[in-house]
Structure 1
């Protein structure tokens, strides 16, 4: 442990080694292996989190394969620990951290390339990207929530719709999409949810979408114009591809389309409406706003499956299967 840590759980010395899922090189699912590695160093502005649940997401598979190698201007080093989302408890805090106490239940976002991710018993992250878990949210849900929920929230901010406005959420039964539906409904926005499969339609309906379309079977463009005859005010696209590109033609020319960076493929032919590519705000400003909404609404994260830590390879294989909501890894 770094000597700058002033407080640790119960005053005890935290073991300098931890169990983690690591990569020794980029590649397929078989490159994921479990072993003990050193705890990450904790700086003055950092929080050490004892991880209970980590999110498993499509970008983890891309990162595992090496798609992000060098993309963030930082050289990749091994052993490499994946995991962008997590929830657990504060194990220790840096010297300059005053707003969190040891033992508090927290969730966090990080970028693994810098100091390792959350597929480990402990993860370190700057306090700016850590938030308390609202009382009404189970830790399992909180662990799978941060990046998708905050990206959805930032997308809605970008679109700037008022109550009564019409919004298409394309990919409404996925991780980002099912959270976007709830956040939009909280604002009084009328939501056309484009979901995947019968189970996706059922989830979107349960979440309160005003109209639901099965993107696998239905004519999304026709349904959109039936929902909003003069054209949709906006769209939030969470899954790219030919159907998405065709569907966003339903957004009127004066409308806006929010397209998170990393959602591929991007449109080949630009629609008449403005397409804005963006990143989610995962800072304290974002988490404060998200937590306020969670406390004031019925927001929840639909976790389709949770895998034991030792079954991380199965979790990554499941990313290629059909599921609705999120996948999670039980670490602690």
Structure 2
């Protein structure tokens, strides 16, 4: 089978289409025939060596949508079921950018019935990241939240989920995104060109990675959550500071899939590419400015 991998670090040209054996399924696992797999910034980071692994062959891809091809013992799924799932980890030899992938069954959920595979594949990593970051913030109904990078994949879903939690949400993004973010549940909007108010929010989800600038907007004793462990600003003013390390959670993913079925979570696909054009897809991702995920189709 074909899979997108890297054996040397670099730009989009480092992505290789490799022939590998179809992976075997073990106890508690499920093999998925990939229908679609999203491309995320974490894939670009892996490709360029941010997470190390020099000399290894590293598989790319975290998100997947497809159909169950085989199941291991103890798995409550059937061949032919449509599913979505997530493969986490930075040094795995096979990711989801492949024709087949094996995942732990507890990282898999039924795919939203109202979405096609490309749309469904855009959901797992970004929705789980948004949901788990909000869990870490632990804000109560009526408290104020600032989401930086609010028009991005994680940011938009954070706005949507925060609305469901009854938080007062301020979205920070490009001025062109104001109307869109209001439609997704933002109570207030800030153009990213304007300075942030100091100590104005109970919590900040810093999806844009602004660091100290975003931290300054948190009230004394509030909470700051970033998305890149190790890049958090230093603690000040009694603010709780942490960064997300997203985990596969099939039960939570199933709940998020139900929200996607109702339209409470919006699946956005910017463009699709065949798997063989993975390097070209990485080049488009590097150009920036996309609204929605790039999705690879085997």
Aligned residues of 1:169 and 1:236 also touching (Cα < 8 A): yes
Give per-residue Cα distances to partners, 1:6-32, cap 9 Å, x unaligned: xxxxxxxxxxxx122232333222121
Distance 1:330 1:240, change over 3 A: closer
Aligned residues of 2:7 and 2:55 also touching (Cα < 8 A): no
Mapped partners of 1:210, 1:182: distance in 2: 11
Alignment equivalent of 2:78, drawn from 96, 101, 106: 101
* Residue in 1 that maps onto 2:178: 201
Structure 1 residue 269, shift from structure 2 partner: 6.6
Give per-residue Cα distances to partners, 1:147-206, cap 9 Å, x unaligned: 2211111111122222222110011011111111111111121110001x3443343223
Alignment equivalent of 1:260, drawn from 222, 227, 231: 227
Report whether the alignment pairs 1:160 with 2:160. Answer: no
Give per-residue Cα distances to partners, 1:290-318, cap 9 Å, x unaligned: 23444555211222222232321121112
1:78-227 alignment, distance < 5 Å: 78=57, 80-97=58-75, 99-111=76-88, 113-195=91-173, 197-215=174-192, 217-221=193-197
* Residue in 2 that maps onto 1:56: 39
Report whether the alignment pairs 1:319 with 2:285. Answer: yes
Aligned residues of 1:153 and 1:280 also touching (Cα < 8 A): no
* Residue in 2 that maps onto 1:27: 10
Aligned residues of 1:49 and 1:122 also touching (Cα < 8 A): yes
Give per-residue Cα distances to partners, 1:53-102, cap 9 Å, x unaligned: 111111111111222234xxxx9643x321011111111111332x1111
Alignment equivalent of 1:302, drawn from 268, 271, 296: 268
Give per-residue Cα distances to partners, 1:230-273, cap 9 Å, x unaligned: 831111111223xx5223322211321222344x7432574552
Structure 1 residue 35, shift from structure 2 partner: 4.0
Which segment drifts farther, 170-179 or 308-317? 308-317
Aligned residues of 1:51 and 1:88 also touching (Cα < 8 A): yes
Mapped partners of 2:113, 2:18: distance in 1: 33
SS class of match (2:112): coil
* Residue in 1 that maps onto 2:207: 238
Aligned residues of 1:199 and 1:324 also touching (Cα < 8 A): no
Mapped partners of 2:129, 2:283: distance in 1: 24
How many pairs does the alignment contain? 297
Distance 1:261 1:189, change over 3 A: same
Mapped partners of 2:24, 2:237: distance in 1: 47
SS class of match (2:126): helix
Alignment equivalent of 1:287, drawn from 253, 256, 259: 253
Mapped partners of 2:221, 2:4: distance in 1: 48
Aligned residues of 1:166 and 1:234 also touching (Cα < 8 A): yes
Aligned residues of 2:269 and 2:295 also touching (Cα < 8 A): no
SS class of match (1:38): coil
Unaligned 5+ runs, structure 1: 1-17
SS class of match (1:54): strand
SS class of match (1:319): helix
Unaligned 5+ runs, structure 2: none
What do you get for the CA RMSD once the two structures are aligned? Answer: 2.4
Aligned residues of 1:49 and 1:90 also touching (Cα < 8 A): yes
Give per-residue Cα distances to partners, 1:111-167, cap 9 Å, x unaligned: 362341011111111111111112233321221221221111111112222222211
